[in-house]
A and B are shown apart, each in its own frame.
Chain A
Amino acid sequence: MTSRASPPRLAALLTQPPTERRVPWIALAWLTVILVGGLVSAGAAVNLASHSLTPPSLAHPLGTDLLGRDVGLRLLAGGLRTLRMAAAATVIAAVLGSLWGLVAGHAGGWLEWILVHANDVLLSVPGLVLALVVIAALGQHEMTIILAVGLGGVGSFARLARSAASQTSHRSFVLAARALGASEVRLLQRHVFPNTLEALTAYALLHFGWALVNSASLTFLGLGGAPSIPDWGQMLNESRLVFLHAPWLAAAPGTALALTVLAVQRLGEWISKP
């Protein structure tokens, strides 16, 4: 075997294979900027600032929009909303899906059969389409988007949790605890759930990226109502009409969305490494 020549530095940063455990500083820094920046800029983003549609300059590093508002400030404020929506949706998906899958995997028998087949039905609708059905039923609002994207992710969580739980449920320490008289609820709580936690956490971070893109897609389609501070999907939608004259309007939220998804993915890889 030949010794591996180390590739140039920049390429290494971009393409680090996930086998090497390194703290993802860039990803962490980016997420911190988004979070802190969002908290700081929340009030300033709606103010009218200067001329409309000015290209990026020193005063407005990311340019201004049609109403002369600073795109950078709006990006930071909107980022907080985008992250919040995706996080809430991921929590809904993780909690419901894990419960579903854990009960199915641990219970076995007819209960597992019913839960697994119900889950297959849920999985047979593409996540985004399922989200649209929820929005059709409950109306267009930020809360509905959260619920919609959350429910769209329940199926995949349930599938993962079931397979993790059914592997654990047959192990000897669970059988021993049952023989000692532990109730099924206690078995789930104390023995099965902690053993599935690692896989579920790693998947939650992966899923967070999916939730980010999907909630942004839904607000891009105009299904998120009309709040005063738009999230990144809505910013992309707003930029559509003036895109040819002011490409920076779309560049900011588009790039930010891609970077955030990358950062979250990287973080997930880092955390899930043994």
Chain B
Amino acid sequence: MSVRTLLRRILGSLVTIWLVTTLVFFAVRLSHLDPLAALLSQGLASPEQVAEMRAALGLDRPLLDQYFFFLSGLPRGDLGRSLFDGQPVIRSIGESLRFTAPLALSAWLLAIALGLTLGAFASRATAWETRRPARLTARLTSAALVLGTATPVAWSGLLILWAAVPLLGKLPPGPAREFVQLALPTLTLGIASGCSLGRVAEAGLARARREPFFIAARARGVWPQWRLEWSALRTTLAPVISLAGVEAAFLLGGTMVTETLFARPGVGRLLVESILRGDFPLVQAIVALAAAGYALFNLLADILASYLDPRLREEAE
């Protein structure tokens, strides 16, 4: 990817992030939920106190003023304050990221490892040189990938939790327990995400095995076997990597369910809770960050993909 293409992509991502942020800012203000009015109606605050809180949070000003105030805070890393506890939004997100980041990262790595291995294995089902017992296991792997993509995370997570509860009950609080507490949601998310990666890898590899360059490489007698396989895998990696970039952002969606299931106070859980409470500064900040993360991962994935498959480099220029 040339510097010019790269700069154009970065600029495009920035504009996209700005548009998404703007869209979300105005969308969440359509909400009929007003947490401050709820405080008033529950008798937890007097009308004067509520008016004071509104002024402190800048909610009494016109919408456009609020919008420009919000935008001007962004470069300073000021994303506003929570309506609920008055804490800076960035701090709440930072605290919950400590729970989400390890989970998302380990699940992502597991997904890639699992997706590539299972996908490569399953793709052998349609290769003509695969003999009977291997063909059957390859087909079963392929079926398992399909099943894995169809199973909702909420259900597979419950199954994993159910299987692990006897183990969790025995473990004393400590590093081992913390590890298991991270490993369970990681497995849940990693398997779900890995299966969809695996299907893409499977389809790509099966296609690559039929392409002239692969047949020619085999005819030349490329050896050892892994060098032959790598030549097929290399062209398959581009779609896998771009999907892996998408999956990285998808994991935020996935963490909403898993964090609810495994009771982890992470970003996904925070987003769901702030929606349920109508805490819109938090909602807009998390969505804006998610869009930024998504743009970043997509960009990284495209750079990596164009490095791996030279054919894509020419397309992009």
Residues of chain A having any CB pair with chain B under 8 Å: 1-2, 5, 7-8, 11, 14-15, 17, 120-121, 124-129, 132-140, 209, 213, 216-217, 220-223, 233, 236-237, 239-240, 243-244, 247, 250, 253-255, 257-259, 261-262, 265
Closest residue of A by beta carbon distance from B275: A136
Inter-chain contact A254/B154, CB cutoff 8 Å: yes
Inter-chain contact A240/B261, CB cutoff 8 Å: yes
B114 on the interface (CB 8 Å rule)?
no
The contact of B150 among A138, A250, A261, by CB within 8 Å, is A261
Inter-chain contact B20/A125, CB cutoff 8 Å: yes
Chain A residue numbers with a CB within 8 Å of B280 are: 136
Contact with A along B1-38 (1 / 0, CB 8 A): 00000000000100011011001100111111100000
Smallest distance from the beta carbon of A15 to chain B beta carbons, Å?
4
CA gap between A138 and B276 in the complex, in Å? 11
Inter-chain contact B151/A254, CB cutoff 8 Å: yes
Closest residue of A by beta carbon distance from B290: A129
Chain B residue numbers with a CB within 8 Å of A262 are: 146-147, 150
CA gap between A26 and B294 in the complex, in Å? 39
Inter-chain contact B291/A7, CB cutoff 8 Å: no
Instruction: State the total of A-B contacts with C-beta under 8 angstroms.
Output: 154
Chain B residue numbers with a CB within 8 Å of A240 are: 158, 261
Inter-chain contact B31/A136, CB cutoff 8 Å: yes
Smallest distance from the beta carbon of B296 to chain A beta carbons, Å?
11
Chain B residue numbers with a CB within 8 Å of A257 are: 151-152, 155
B104 on the interface (CB 8 Å rule)?
no
Question: Would A138 and B162 be within 8 Å (CB), given that A124-B16, A221-B256 are in contact?
Answer: no
Question: Would A11 and B136 be within 8 Å (CB), given that A124-B20, A258-B147 are in contact?
Answer: yes
Chain B residue numbers with a CB within 8 Å of A253 are: 155
Chain B residue numbers with a CB within 8 Å of A139 are: 31-33
B68 on the interface (CB 8 Å rule)?
no
Inter-chain contact A213/B287, CB cutoff 8 Å: no
- Interface positions, chain B 113-159, Cβ under 8 Å from A, are 125-126, 128, 132, 135-136, 139-140, 142-143, 146-147, 150-156, 158-159
Smallest distance from the beta carbon of B201 to chain A beta carbons, Å?
16
Smallest distance from the beta carbon of B125 to chain A beta carbons, Å?
7
Inter-chain contact B136/A133, CB cutoff 8 Å: no
Smallest distance from the beta carbon of B3 to chain A beta carbons, Å?
22
Chain B residue numbers with a CB within 8 Å of A137 are: 27-31
The contact of B152 among A2, A14, A216, by CB within 8 Å, is A216
Inter-chain contact A134/B290, CB cutoff 8 Å: no
Chain A residue numbers with a CB within 8 Å of B278 are: 136
B239 on the interface (CB 8 Å rule)?
no
CA gap between A255 and B147 in the complex, in Å? 11
Inter-chain contact B136/A216, CB cutoff 8 Å: no
Inter-chain contact B30/A14, CB cutoff 8 Å: no
Inter-chain contact B139/A7, CB cutoff 8 Å: yes
Contact with A along B85-105 (1 / 0, CB 8 A): 000000000000000000000
Inter-chain contact B140/A15, CB cutoff 8 Å: yes
Inter-chain contact B140/A128, CB cutoff 8 Å: no
Inter-chain contact B23/A121, CB cutoff 8 Å: yes
- Interface positions, chain B 265-293, Cβ under 8 Å from A, are 271-272, 275-276, 278, 280, 283, 287, 290-291
Inter-chain contact B152/A125, CB cutoff 8 Å: no
B165 on the interface (CB 8 Å rule)?
yes
Smallest distance from the beta carbon of A42 to chain B beta carbons, Å?
23
The contact of B27 among A1, A134, A247, by CB within 8 Å, is A134
The contact of A220 among B128, B154, B253, by CB within 8 Å, is B154
